[in-house]
Amino acid sequence: MASSTSANAIPVFSGENFDFWSIKIKTILRAYYLWEVVENGIPKAAAPLKEKTEAAESTTTTTTKSESSPTTVPMKEWQKKDANSLAKIHLAVSDSIFPRIMNSTSAKEAWDTLQDEFKGTVKILAIKLQTLRRDFENLRMTEGETIKDFSSIAIEVVNQMKSYGGNITNQRVIEKFLIFLTEKFDSVVNIIEETRNLSELSEKKSNTNSKPYTGRCTPLVTPILPHTNTSDH
């Protein structure tokens, strides 16, 4: 799984939770203005490296880091970006994963290799997403299971769906969440459905209705909402 030795260290991927690790490493690469070269490779239109005198270099037009136009950034700069990106990717994988990318000559090649193996092709992603959707639909709360434990499982499934490109609204999560609950919570579910509009509840993330009924846990509905990457469109 992804891990790091300190809060500021690069997260290390060792074969599990590729989606979470990839989000973290992308953020780091973007912070250093390196993600573009990882995603697209060195542009073919990059300005060729030319011999310049010091006087000529001092008058050469350059771009800011945020511009990164391939026609104005010299090839040498792109090569530096690529080497720096590849080095960071090397540092971000464990010794057991490193052999898979040790022969990659560019950051894009290394990244694509990891993504193809651990995330999969478009077809594989579609299959994984379909499996997760089925898992979500089949979720059921078991007798004796706490709301907290059940919502943690549901959160994990919803977030995995989102990481594979699935779209699911907060309202849909709430609707299914209420259905998943055991008969023990039927009275609570009825109160919520009769007194609150679910779309309004998804926006306000209210927890006042269920609190008196759950006893051993915090909100009935809202534990699942703040932690899921859902959208309301």
Task: Report yes or no: 42 and 82 within 8 Å, Cβ to Cβ.
Answer: yes
pLDDT for residue 54: 43
The predicted structure's pLDDT at residue 11: 93
d(CA 151, CA 231): 18
Sign of the Cα torsion 155, 160, 163, 169 reads negative
3-state secondary structure of 177: helix
- Its pTM stands at 0.51
Q: Which of 178, 175, 176 is nearest to 186 (CA)?
A: 178
Q: What is the pLDDT of residue 8?
A: 60
- The low-confidence residues of the chain, meaning pLDDT below 50, are 3-7, 51-67, 202-226, 230-233
User: How high is the pLDDT of residue 6?
Assistant: 46
Long-range contacts, 24-27 (Cβ 8 Å, 24+): 25/88, 25/89, 25/92
